[in-house]
Amino acid sequence: QKEVEQNSGPLSVPEGAIASLNCTYSDRGSQSFFWYRQYSGKSPELIMSIYSNGDKEDGRFTAQLNKASQYVSLLIRDSQPSDSATYLCAVTRNDYKLSFGAGTTVTVRA
Amino acid sequence: DTEVTQTPKHLVMGMTNKKSLKCEQHMGHRAMYWYKQKAKKPPELMFVYSYEKLSINESVPSRFSPECPNSSLLNLHLHALQPEDSALYLCASSRSGGAYEQFFGPGTRLTVL
């Protein structure tokens, strides 16, 4: 079993729709959770961090964390073509080591 | 300012060459990282420096040699690389402590011939 698993893509959504990305992790000692966006040929860009159970909203992005279910998700509302990218879920025990999922590629159709 | 800079952007080297990758941050972060990323894969951690001391080496071959001259700079010295070492090399930094967000630089695209 992989440490961090993301829903397999690619995920294709129409412009203006909600894109829903899921991530599960196996290490119950994980403390901090991050979502990175990576455009093709570019480096990962941090878009959300979440540390406690519940929802965290930042603009069109909402991260949700449920430690009991070992689940973290990212919702992208009002999806735009510029949201087309690979989204990486990353978790850590707060020991400097990030465990990344394989990534989910999102394509927003105009 | 959440900027990490890396030079060069692209590097092509032969298997007998010696080259260095450079990384710089001016955010006052005290942890700096080297990652390697192959196409369509997530980043893989190579090294972590905390307060200018090497704290994590993920069993990286000795042909990769990290150096942290000061709290703002991080180098990766390359020697006798193999073609399979061709990848995107990413530098990242974070505030001290393992819980903090890591911010990535733009990366160096390395090709080993």
pLDDT digits (tens, 9 = 90+) for B47-81: 999 999 999 999 999 999 999 999 999 999 999 99
In angstroms, the CA A21 to CA A76 distance is: 8
Residue B42 and residue A43: Cβ atoms within 8 Å? no
The answer for residues whose C-beta is within 8 angstroms of residue B22's C-beta and 6 or more apart is: B6, B7, B73, B74, B75
Q: Is A73 on the interface with B (CB under 8 A)?
A: no
Cβ separation A92–B99 shorter than 8 A: yes
CB contact set of B16 (below 8 Å; sequence gap of 6+):
B80
**A94–B contact, CB cutoff 8 A:** yes
Rounded CA-CA distance A17/B110 in Å is 38
Tell me which chain A residue has its CA closest to the CA of residue B31. A96
Query: Across the interface, do A93 and B97 touch by the CB < 8 Å criterion?
Result: no
Q: Is B43 a residue whose pLDDT tops 90?
A: yes
Q: Give the mean pLDDT of chain B.
A: 95
Answer whether A46's CB lies under 8 Å from B102's CB.
yes
Q: Which residue in A49, A96, A101 is closest to B42 by CB distance?
A: A101
Only one residue has tokens 């025990």, namely: A93
pLDDT at position B1 over 60: no
Residues of chain B positioned with their CB less than 8 A from the CB of A88: 42
Out of A42, A93, A100, closest to residue B42 by CB? A100
**Rounded distance, CA B103 to CA B3, Å?**
8
> Is B39 in CB contact (< 8 Å) with chain A?
no
Alpha carbon distance A101, B106 (integer Å):
20
A54 beta partners: A65
Interface membership of B48 toward A (CB under 8 Å): yes
A49 and B31 in contact by Cβ < 8 A? Answer: no
Cβ–Cβ below 8 Å for A31 and B99: yes
Structure tokens belonging to residue A105 = 């590629």
Q: Using DSSP, state whether A11 is helix, strand or coil.
A: strand
For residue B104, give how far its alpha carbon lies from the nearest alpha carbon of chain A (Å).
Answer: 6
pLDDT on residue A1: 63
Per-residue model confidence as pLDDT tens digits over B76-101: 999 999 999 999 999 999 998 778 89
Q: Which of the 8 DSSP states describes residue B15?
A: T
The predicted-structure confidence for A21-80, as pLDDT tens digits, reads as follows 999 999 999 999 999 999 999 999 999 999 999 999 999 999 999 999 999 999 999 999
